[in-house]
Structure 1
Amino acid sequence: MSIPSLKIVFHGQNAANFRHDFETLIDPAHQLLDLSDALDQAGEREHYESADVVIGIQLNDSMPRPLKARLFHAPAAGTDAVNIAFLPPACTLANCFGHENAIAEYVIAALLMRHVPLARADQDLREQRWTYWAGRPSALRTELGTQTLGLLGFGHIAQTLAQRAKAMGMQVLVANRSPISHPVVDRSWTLDALQDFMGSCDAVVVCLPLTDNTQGLVDAPAIAAMRPDAMLLNVGRGAVIDEKALYQALKNHQIGGAVIDTWYQYPTPTQPECAPSQFDFASLDNVLMTPHMSGWTTGTVRRRQETLADNIRRLSQGEALINVVRGPLT
């Protein structure tokens, strides 16, 4: 059976991250095109409007419409920058995961830093200080396995992280929109009991996507409910945690600290460097700041490429698509 040729466009720099060797994953009958973020080069607008498949992370009122698209595929989990009102009725919106293993490793590494201070032990010993020498009562460390890990949300990231945490001996608690029953979850709450959940954990990891219902969900009262030595980690979306409330809680040492990987302000094509927040988190000594890196590994890129290629194959062969965010309306 012959495979119908599809015009597939990679729109913008983010999508270009998944373009390398993509030809090797799909049928050679398909046409691949690389388009700029601005879509202002010769012929780019027309290619975008006539594409069968658009791979990209945004669609808004400043852009041309993908008039003939049958699949708009985000190469990441988030689709909040894609305005579905501008998709053709017959177009499916899909996304990619594949980042859960990498993010779980990031979280475990960040948590271990509190209990296994390798960097300080190394630095001190280089200066002939035996700070953590076994046998000294003052050198005793804590263990990650004695801790209670709270997961806000229970999607791909949280489920993978729960398994890793259990392997470390941790107790796993979950707060989710719907009740959770899972072999590695010791207790769960629904979101109407968020403060009870927040107060039960040694570390809370925000794993939620950004929606109208989750924006600002972790507000000042939720943070105030946390234990004074508890950690708050965000690998979901920045705005799920109220920006001002988080800054004030850290500045006032209301909680034990934070690890922040997802932020409130990001670079743009016209401003490639910027502060990650309107507040001066960089001046605080109880926060670890990273530049939205937790899921960005070679493994993540490859797994997402495979998801993109699989859905293109399914589309060309008339099979049901996977990772569907919104199906066709006609």
Structure 2
Amino acid sequence: MNTYQPDILVFHPEQSEEYAACIRDYGFTSVRIASTLEEAENQLPGTEVILGWNFPTPLLTKPGASSVRWFQSIGAGVDDLIADSSIPESITLTRIVDQFGAYISEYVFTFLLHLLKDVPRITQAQIDRRWDPFTSESLAEKTIGVAGIGSIGAEVVRKARAFDMNVHGLSFSGKQAHLVNRHFTPDEWGDFVKELDYLVLTLPLTSSTHHIVNRDVLSAMKPNACLVNVGRGELIDEEELQTVMRSGHLQAAVLDVFEKEPLPADHPFFSIPNVYVTPHLSGPSTTEGVSRFFAENVKRYVNGQSLHGVVDRQRGY
């Protein structure tokens, strides 16, 4: 049995000890922690593996980081790490995968049902002590389009099937095209969105997806369609979305991610009717979930197996 254990450094500004405790529970004993730049710099010499969130990456260019072979991000999005020239090419980057689908898909359908069943009207009627019967619609036979059908998008698709929805998908690779009724490629955005009742964005942020949802795409959608972004804020041209929403073209925009976070208090999205703002909470990184994923990856690392969630820096995710 392989008894070798790599030296692991856990870095998190607030939760480094929590993550370290969970990792030790999986049997890994060579685990150190850091929460500040100074602590990280002191702990780096001899470190082979980093589990990190908001890690001070310029340290990775220094001699003390020469032993680092692998950096495991605590999050799913790694566009900031890919763009970071401080991280040597020799360090393998991995991201969390297959952890967020349940949470994010539940978030998506919370809002789809909230809008479809007109929960605000029901709530207001109770506040007013007013009997206000009406007939709401059903998700059955509605068309949902999921842009990005990786692990998160695939779970949105699975739940859409449970509601008997018609499901369209857009992806770059087409590997999961079999999951949807109709599959579109990135050069077919106009055709992809024109029949949708709901557009859900779960794409990663790359040079080719930056501001991919712009005025042209939004204007091609049906006037009563809804947009949901649980991918990355920069997928949408926010200024053009503001213009479209003010024109009344879309029924609603549900936004959990933004180009700048936290969203400034004076941002127009807070005051535009039918724009729903949430503080990047749709897919939480739980300590136990991340630690379980990381522990499995450490076992694979020790045994010389391929790691889960390896980032392709050329592809961008």
Normalising by the smaller structure, the TM-score range is 0.7 to 0.9
Deviations 1:90-137 (A, max 9, x none): 4321111200111001101110011223453244134321112xxxxx
Alpha-carbon spacing, 1:172–1:48, altered in 2? closer, same or farther (3 Å): same
1:59, 1:86 within 8 Å by CA — same for their partners in 2? Answer: no
* Backbone CA RMSD of aligned residues: 2.5
Alpha-carbon spacing, 1:3–1:180, altered in 2? closer, same or farther (3 Å): closer
What code does the residue aligned with 1:94 have?
A: T
What code does the residue aligned with 2:117 have?
A: V
Partners of 2:192 and 2:282 lie apart in 1 by 24
What code does the residue aligned with 1:53 have?
A: V
Please tell me whether residue 45 in structure 1 is matched to residue 41 in structure 2.
yes
Q: How does 1:231-242 map to 2 (within 5 A)?
A: 231-242=226-237
1:3, 1:317 within 8 Å by CA — same for their partners in 2? Answer: no
Alpha-carbon spacing, 1:177–1:290, altered in 2? closer, same or farther (3 Å): same
Query: Shift of residue 25 of structure 1?
Result: 4.0
What code does the residue aligned with 2:249 have?
A: Q
Aligned match of 1:271: none
Query: Shift of residue 224 of structure 1?
Result: 0.9
Q: How does 1:90-105 map to 2 (within 5 A)?
A: 90-97=90-97, 98-105=99-106
Please tell me whether residue 305 in structure 1 is matched to residue 291 in structure 2.
yes
| SS of residue paired to 1:93 | strand
Alpha-carbon spacing, 1:211–1:10, altered in 2? closer, same or farther (3 Å): same
Q: How does 1:1-330 map to 2 (within 5 A)?
A: 1=1, 3-13=3-13, 16=16, 19=19, 21-28=21-28, 30-36=29-35, 38-41=36-39, 44-58=40-54, 62-65=58-61, 66-83=65-82, 85-97=85-97, 98-132=99-133, 139-179=134-174, 182-267=177-262, 275=264, 279-296=267-284, 300-326=286-312
Query: Shift of residue 315 of structure 1?
Result: 1.7
Alpha-carbon spacing, 1:95–1:79, altered in 2? closer, same or farther (3 Å): same
2:24, 2:31 within 8 Å by CA — same for their partners in 1? Answer: no
- Per the normalisation by structure 1, the TM-score is 0.85
Deviations 1:51-82 (A, max 9, x none): 11111245676444332112100112111121
Partners of 1:326 and 1:68 lie apart in 2 by 22
Alpha-carbon spacing, 1:118–1:286, altered in 2? closer, same or farther (3 Å): closer
1:67, 1:88 within 8 Å by CA — same for their partners in 2? Answer: no
| SS of residue paired to 1:324 | coil
Gapped runs of 5+ residues in structure 2?
Answer: none
| SS of residue paired to 1:177 | coil
Query: Shift of residue 225 of structure 1?
Result: 0.5
- Per the normalisation by structure 2, the TM-score is 0.88
Deviations 1:229-260 (A, max 9, x none): 10011000000111111111112212111000
Alpha-carbon spacing, 1:118–1:279, altered in 2? closer, same or farther (3 Å): closer
Alpha-carbon spacing, 1:60–1:222, altered in 2? closer, same or farther (3 Å): farther
Gapped runs of 5+ residues in structure 1?
Answer: 133-138, 268-273
Deviates more, 1:243-252 or 1:313-322: 313-322
Partners of 2:179 and 2:57 lie apart in 1 by 44
What code does the residue aligned with 2:284 have?
A: W
Deviates more, 1:171-180 or 1:67-76: 171-180
Aligned match of 1:136: none
1:25, 1:309 within 8 Å by CA — same for their partners in 2? Answer: no
| SS of residue paired to 2:305 | coil
Deviates more, 1:6-15 or 1:309-318: 6-15
Alpha-carbon spacing, 1:314–1:15, altered in 2? closer, same or farther (3 Å): farther
Deviates more, 1:256-265 or 1:19-28: 19-28
